[in-house]
Chain A
Amino acid sequence: AQSVTQLGSHVSVSEGALVLLRCNYSSSVPPYLFWYVQYPNQGLQLLLKYTSAATLVKGINGFEAEFKKSETSFHLTKPSAHMSDAAEYFCAVSLTGNQFYFGTGTSLTVIP
């Protein structure tokens, strides 16, 4: 069965500091992996996706994620946090590229 685990339901960082949001997946074969962001009272927006091309994936708003098969991880990073990055972040996995399974989310707070 496919699943994702997001370590840390709440993460706080200072403005300008490194953002690191963790995601580990459970899958018997390399899956498709996604990171989505959700701002209050809005739908989810795709940040980036891994589809077995490059292991380091660059997304929008300066975010990137690295697929590490040996660690079954797909952590999301950003070198310097902005106030506008405060939101809920979801990792999602799919084996087929169609049916998606989302993690429980990580709420990011940026401290000025």
Chain B
Amino acid sequence: EAGVAQSPRYKIIEKRQSVAFWCNPISGHATLYWYQQILGQGPKLLIQFQNNGVVDDSQLPKDRFSAERLKGVDSTLKIQPAKLEDSAVYLCASSLGAGESYNEQFFGPGTRLTVL
């Protein structure tokens, strides 16, 4: 079974530029999560989708961050414009969203963003 795919793996941009990350969850997983992991900290949930609807985006800085999950499969996370403090690893995870293991999250390898 293929895991959660993310691209790019690494990205370096200058502040005020825009950047987008892509995530392809495990086939059949209804729930998709985006996390921000700053160096030395635990992952922080940015947004959670159930199919193509948003379940929780309370910690998403909506003035600069946006995310979408068209057709309930792939998802993109965008930052526009980026700030220095956005430097972090962006993790995507997915879960079945149903059944006994509905909340078991499978994580992708992450995208490491450096903002200069």
Considering the chains assembled together, what is the distance between the CA atoms of A108 and B81 in angstroms?
36
Interface of chain B residues 91 through 116 with chain A (CB within 8 A): 91, 93, 102-110
**Contact between A104 and B40, CB atoms less than 8 A apart:** yes
Residues of A within 8 A of B103 (CB): 32, 94, 97-98
**Contact between B107 and A49, CB atoms less than 8 A apart:** no
**Contact between B104 and A102, CB atoms less than 8 A apart:** no
Residues of A within 8 A of B107 (CB): 36, 43-45
Contact status of A43 and B41, CB under 8 A, knowing A49-B104, A97-B103, A98-B103: no
Considering the chains assembled together, what is the distance between the CA atoms of A44 and B92 in angstroms?
10
Considering the chains assembled together, what is the distance between the CA atoms of A44 and B35 in angstroms?
11
Nearest CB of A to B59, in Å: 9
Considering the chains assembled together, what is the distance between the CA atoms of A41 and B49 in angstroms?
25
Count residues of chain B with CB under 8 A from any CB of chain A.
23
Residues of A within 8 A of B104 (CB): 46, 49
Residue interface mask A37-69, B partner, CB < 8 A = 1: 000011111100100000000000000000000
Selected from B44, B45, B102, B108, the residue in CB contact (under 8 A) with A43 is B108
Contact status of A43 and B42, CB under 8 A, knowing A98-B31, A98-B56: no
Interface of chain A residues 87 through 112 with chain B (CB within 8 A): 90, 92, 94, 97-105
Considering the chains assembled together, what is the distance between the CA atoms of A104 and B41 in angstroms?
5
Residues of A within 8 A of B45 (CB): 99-101
Cβ of B75 within 8 Å of any chain A Cβ, yes or no, is: no
Cβ of B87 within 8 Å of any chain A Cβ, yes or no, is: no
Considering the chains assembled together, what is the distance between the CA atoms of A43 and B25 in angstroms?
13
Nearest CB of A to B72, in Å: 16
Cβ of B24 within 8 Å of any chain A Cβ, yes or no, is: no
Q: Besides the contacts A98-B48, A105-B42, what 10 more A-B pairs have beta carbons closer than 8 Å?
A: A9-B40, A43-B4, A43-B107, A43-B108, A44-B43, A98-B55, A98-B56, A98-B103, A99-B48, A102-B44
**Which 8 residue pairs are nearest across A and B when measured between Cβ atoms?**
A43-B107, A102-B42, A97-B103, A44-B107, A102-B43, A43-B109, A104-B42, A43-B108
